Every structure is written in structure tokens, then in C-alpha cells.
Amino acid sequence: MGFIYVFSQIYYIILADNVKKRGECIIMKICPYCNFQNENAAKTCAQCGHMFKTQMGKKDLTPVFKDTTSNHAAPDTNSTKRNRLKNPRPRKIAFIAVVSFVSILFIALFCSTSLSRQNPDSITILNGNNIIDLKNDAPISINAHPDKFSSKSFECISSNPSVATVSFNTYSGNLIVSPAAEGDTKVKITYTASNGEQKTSNEISLTIVDKELAKKKAATVDQQIKNIGAVSLEHEDLVEIAYDSYLQLNNYAKGLVKEKNELDFAQLKLSELATATAEPVIKEIDSIGKVTKDCRNKVKSIRSQFNLLSKTAQSQVSNYDTLTQAETALKQIDEQEKKQQATASFKKGCAAFDYKSIARQPDNFIGKKAKFTGQVAQVIEDLSGTALRVNVTEDEYGLWSNTVYVRYSYPESSSPRILEDDIITMYGTLDGLETYTSTLGASVTIPALNAQYIDIQ
């Protein structure tokens, strides 16, 4: 196809040159140049070799005749032969032949080179500039063996196509990365080697950034750093804002921040000032010692001093955990005191009732706080809790009678268990009657108590 195209272009140029520069050819018998009588009508003179043509640039077909009135010497044989060489047709034909031959050689060489290419034995993606501008496609060089290879089996893979896609340019022999969004991706090539084995090249990491936007963000951070001015604890917020803005930049933009050294100096200076301010608070915390309810006011005072420190100074308080542990211990002391007060208050509100009165009219005592002391006759434990049968009346001989059914839940898993024959004091609310089956199979109904607290004597 290339040869046909070249030949057609050359033929067109020659034909156009013939029409534009030499005029249109016509058939004549008498030569207007040398007045030679040709044997047959033709386009060229058999004696001088001139081509019969119209006047150049004119539309009429009137041939151009040489002036016959002037003295015109007949050309000799040698000049005639030389004049015949002026005929452009043989030269044009020779030119076309040479160009066609060269075109054929070029096409044959190109085809043989293409057909001789084979799949590569190995491919290595070269690590160059791994930061790609979001707005421009970027080439990445590869190293393949052999140098001239076929890329028909290539598959270019991007681990994150939403960030960038990758393709292979057969003319340049490079990978072409087409960015889509800011982010990170990894690129590799899978291919079929010359021996038919499926292989994978090395993998390189790429970072896609909007370089123009990164420059603007870096310039903003530079301005924030300049706004800090003289470093003091009053300017702590300015240092923090500049540092937070710097941390939000990607690695490329961070490298564009010109005032980074000034920011580091400001942070160091601020840390030194904060340490000096925090030192008195550190000493106060060390003086707390063992936590009791008597040191409550001291801990509150230290907390107030700490809260007045700047954020940077607070971060310099190395023993801050000691302060929080003291506060936690005080809370536990407060909770324990409240619990003890609640227990004492409940126990104080419990009254001792006559057993027979409760058994005779149980409904009159439902919900009332009661207190009993007795001997445990039976302990029943299950997943729902603990049930006790306790005899609450002791006679003069030390024998116990008048049984109360007690429902109870241990406050903690580590609480001591209640055993049979234990002497206990129970505090709780009366809950009517409870019926149970005795070991002899008889139904027994006795007063019930929901115990809140039990003291083992």
C-alpha cells in the first residue's frame, strides 16, 4: 500500500509538471522548431526531439511555431542526437523507476524487520520520576531483551485504575501513564515470553498529584508559617494551624514548602517555653503521695493549674497519669462512702417485727423493711440466685424455730458464701408468704423476705 501511494504521488507530480510547465501535448507532422517534415504525425520531432505543445499557461491549442523567416541553420547530426536527450520522458521514466525501486526495498526491509520481531525474554520497568502530574500523560521507560520485540502479548496493569491507567506505545517503546485522579497506584506488565511462558515484570509505585494545586497549597502553608512571627505561648494556635496544614499536604507538596525549617524552629521553641511553664505543675503532682479523702482539695487545685496550661505545656506534663489516677481513686472513695451511707441508711430503716404477727396477717407487712437474726437451716443455690430457710426465733435452750424464706443475691462474685448453721442478720423487705414442699412431701407456707443485706456473724 505504501508503494502504491508513493508511485501515485510521483506520477501526479510529473503529470502536473507536464501540464503546468510545458503545456498540453499535441500531435503534429511538421516540427515548428526545425521545420522538419516528419514521416508520420507524432508528439515529438524525429529530428530535433522537441515535444509539440501549446503555449504555456494558455487555454488555446495553437501550437508554437518557430520563426521560419529568420536564418535557421539545419542542425547537424551530433546536435540532433544531443537534442534528443532533452526529451523529458526518458528522464521521468528513469526517475519513477528509481523511486519505485527504493520504495519497494524500504517496504521489504520494514516487513522483514516486523516479521522477525519475537516476544521478549524479559521486561524491566525502569524507576524514574515516580511522581506524575495529574494534567499530563507521562512516559515510563522499559528495558526489554531483545531490544526489538513484539508487544502483541502485552497487558499493562494499574492496581488503581481510578487513579491512573497505563498503556504501551509501540512507536516510542514506552509505557504511557494516563492520570485520572490524585492518589497512588502500582504499574506492572504481564506478557508471554519467547518460550511461551507467562511472565510478569517488576512493579513500580506511582503517585499522581496535581502539581499546580500542590504549589498553591505549599504557598499557603508558607504564608501561615510567616504569620507566626515571634514564637510565644500566645502564638501557640498559629503554630498548630500551620503544622496541621503541613501534615495534610501530600509528600510532593511537602517538598515544596520553603519555610519548613522555620516551622520546626517554632515548634522547638514552643516546646521549650511549654516545658518551663509545666515544671511547677509536675512538682505539685509528685507531692500528692497516697490518695485519701483528706487530699481531695489538693488534687482539685492541681487539676485547675493543669487546665490553665497551654495545649503544648499540657503535653509536657510527664506525670499526668499520676494526676488522673489520684482523681480516679478519689472517685472510688466517694462511691464507697455513698455506698456505705446508703447501706447504713437502709439498715437503720429496718424494724424487728413479731414473727407470729407477720405469719398471721402477711398482707399487712408487704413492702415493709424488716430485720431478722437467725440460724440458716437450708441453702438452695441456682442460676437465678440464692434461697435460704432461716429460723429466726431462739428459745432459752439455744434452739431455733419459726422459719423465714429468704431470697438473696450476692453483691459481688467474691462475696463470702452463706452456709448451713451460719448465724446471720438479714435486712430486707417483706414479701408475703412462700410455699415450698418439704422433704416429707408436705406443703409448707412461711413468711418471705427479699434480703438486701446479710451480715454473717
Q: Which CATH number goes with the domain that contains 172?
A: 2.60.40.1080
Hey, is 145 helix, strand or coil? Answer: strand
pLDDT band at 7 (very low <50, low <70, confident <90, very high): low
Whether 78 has a pLDDT exceeding 70, the answer reads no
Average pLDDT over residues 267-272: 88
d(CA 408, CA 415): 12
Q: For residues 240 and 149, state if they share a domain.
A: no
User: What local confidence, expressed as pLDDT, does residue 75 receive?
Assistant: 47
Q: For residues 451 and 359, state if they share a domain.
A: yes
User: What local confidence, expressed as pLDDT, does residue 71 receive?
Assistant: 46
By C-alpha distance, which of 302, 243, 311 is closest to 271? 311
Q: For residues 335 and 366, state if they share a domain.
A: no
Q: For residues 61 and 173, state if they share a domain.
A: no
357-387 pLDDT per residue, tens: 999 999 999 999 999 999 999 999 888 789 9
Q: For residues 340 and 223, state if they share a domain.
A: yes
372-430 pLDDT per residue, tens: 999 999 999 888 789 999 999 998 888 999 999 999 998 888 889 999 999 999 999 99
| Element holding 227 (H helix, E strand) | none
205-245 pLDDT per residue, tens: 999 999 999 999 999 999 999 999 888 888 888 998 999 99
pLDDT band at 70 (very low <50, low <70, confident <90, very high): very low
- 268 inside domain: yes
Average pLDDT over residues 292-315: 88
Whether 63 has a pLDDT exceeding 60, the answer reads no
Average pLDDT over residues 439-453: 89
Hey, is 120 helix, strand or coil? Answer: coil
User: What local confidence, expressed as pLDDT, does residue 74 receive?
Assistant: 47
Q: Hey, which residues does 177 pair with through a beta bridge? A: 138, 166
CB 87 within 8 A of CB 51: yes
- 103 inside domain: no
d(CA 382, CA 403): 21
**Domain final position from 345, 374, 389:** 345
**Domain final position from 158, 182, 209:** 209
Q: For residues 359 and 337, state if they share a domain.
A: no
pTM, two decimals, is 0.46
Q: For residues 365 and 438, state if they share a domain.
A: yes
Q: For residues 299 and 392, state if they share a domain.
A: no
- 107 inside domain: no
Phi, psi of 64 (to 5 degrees): -90, 120
pLDDT band at 171 (very low <50, low <70, confident <90, very high): confident
Q: For residues 203 and 230, state if they share a domain.
A: no
Q: For residues 332 and 387, state if they share a domain.
A: no
Average pLDDT over residues 127-150: 82
User: What local confidence, expressed as pLDDT, does residue 59 receive?
Assistant: 42
User: What local confidence, expressed as pLDDT, does residue 64 receive?
Assistant: 46
Please report the sign of the dihedral spanned by the C-alpha atoms of residue 422, residue 425, residue 430, residue 432: positive
- 451 inside domain: yes
Q: For residues 257 and 335, state if they share a domain.
A: yes
307-340 pLDDT per residue, tens: 988 888 888 888 999 999 999 999 999 999 999 9
CATH of the domain at 425: 2.40.50.140
- Max mean pLDDT among 49-53, 107-111, 450-454 falls in 450-454
Average pLDDT over residues 437-443: 82
User: What local confidence, expressed as pLDDT, does residue 160 receive?
Assistant: 93
| Element holding 132 (H helix, E strand) | strand 131-133
87-133 pLDDT per residue, tens: 555 666 667 777 777 778 767 665 554 445 567 778 888 877 789 99
If one counts every other C-beta atom within 10 angstroms of the C-beta of residue 313, the result is 22
Number of domains in the chain: 4
311: domain range? 219-345
d(CA 151, CA 118): 9
Percent of the chain clearing pLDDT 70 (strictly above):
79
**Domain final position from 53, 72, 93:** 93
Q: For residues 230 and 331, state if they share a domain.
A: yes
User: What local confidence, expressed as pLDDT, does residue 88 receive?
Assistant: 54
Q: What is the number of H-type helices and E-type strands within the chain? A: 11, 17
Percent of the chain clearing pLDDT 90 (strictly above):
42
User: What local confidence, expressed as pLDDT, does residue 73 receive?
Assistant: 46
pLDDT band at 432 (very low <50, low <70, confident <90, very high): very high
The mean of the pLDDT values for the chain is 81
